[in-house]
Structure 1
Amino acid sequence: MRRLEWTPTWDEFLVGLMVDEVNKGRKGDKGFTKESWNYIVSEFNKKFNVNLNQQQLRSRYNYYKKEYKIVKTLLSQSDFGWDESRKIVTAEPEVWDRYILAHPEAKQYLTKGLPLLGEMGKIIGNSAADGKALPSSHRGEVLEEAARGMVALQSENEESDSSEDMNASYQRYKRKYVTPTSSCHSKKERKGTDLAALAAALQEMAASSRFRASLITGANSKQELKNCIEELQTMENLDDVLFVKACKMLKDEKNALVFMTLKGHRRLLWVKEMCDAL
């Protein structure tokens, strides 16, 4: 039997179908439902006028999981980065050499990109997005959005000098760690420092006496937790295990405030990131 030759167009369409099915809630802990697979096979064959069976598409799905796992593991290493424009893993030659000696399966990703990494993150794992697999640049965007949101919220609800204190903490982080540069190499080296520094800046904001005083306590605090849980229940692609972890995490008032500040996909990414640390 002749080996099936997959094309980038085929991969993009198949992954797109799977993402749609995940968004519709048709993928559980054990994978896609039977009805979902039947739909995927039907739509794929109709699109490309072919006659592939479910096993062939399942095999390709398993291949995606293998690729995703390898790249996810690479990106969890501090010496590796992610080039968003080229969709490729980056590292110094000596770093690659050491890693490939211990993990020969990763050699192909020295030159091979993974254009569908983000989409694969939505269809692989227990939920629609696996925070551990996110390139660090994406995690940084979520943290920075949280910082901006906290400053904005403080400005709305507190006196001006207090909001200035909060904004000053954020600006100190920006001046110290975020400086414009055209060097990709320099950006890669600063990646870990930037994220750690922004996390520290967030903690500094939350720890300030005026900010802590602004946190709602007593009956209002219970209402805020209720509001957070109601928001959680409206979020798509949040499985039961992650939901329970998120409920526990949001008992912390600082976490609740950040959660209510973030919107859309950034809120989901932040929830994943926080729950993975539990």
Structure 2
Amino acid sequence: MMMDLYIQAVERGKRSDSGFQSSTHKHATRELGKNFPEVAHCITNKKVKSKLSQGFKRDYDAFLALKNASGFGWDDITGVATASAEVWDCYLVSHPYARQFWGSPFPEFHKLDLIFGDIRATGENARSISQQGLQLNANLNTPGEAQPGDHTNPAPRFASPTAYLSQSHSKKDAIADAVDGLVGFLQTSRNQSEHFHAEEASQHEALSAFKIFRSDIIGQIFTSIREKDLRLGWLHQQIDEMNN
């Protein structure tokens, strides 16, 4: 949950090149206390900041260096850094802290990358994560204005299904338009990175996938898999795990 709170802060533009504002740490401390009242007295602003800067940041920096080191590969699905035993042995001589990642998945990397990843964009590209790709169509269809097959008003594009739902006027309307939101998300992903398009999924699969893609991290993993068959296989596996 702590990672999610800081990701939300990044999306709201609360992180600068120098780090997070003090108000962000205080907000995270309050929210953690609310959600874990039994240990709220132990959750202090100082401990939260320490966990972020000395715990999460240390793990992120260590894994990022490992991921980019010569001789290492990267499995997007499992979050495992791959290399031969010889490469590992050589690397660990000078980077002993990285031993924890040998053969072990580190799925938190995707979230930590959102929190600590470099901010290099300027101008129009410096918008927050939520704002990027989340330009709502001003002419969003209302009942009676557009019929199926009417392409005069292009479907709006969304950064993710989660962002789409957050912009809906009501929960009822959001549920009714959920499939269309997922289609827009998947089609946008395909246009940008030659990824899977929504027509390849049945309506039932789309509804199930929509539930999965409520996690932006899952969406990022999905769109990062370039091999179509592998991508579809991974999606079906996630749907099966969710339904079991």
What TM-score, normalized to structure 1?
0.43
Task: Work out which of the two has the higher radius of gyration on C-alpha atoms and give 1 or 2.
Answer: 1
Of structures 1 and 2, the one scoring higher in RCO (CA 8 A, sep 6+) is: 1
TM-score, normalising length from structure 2? 0.48
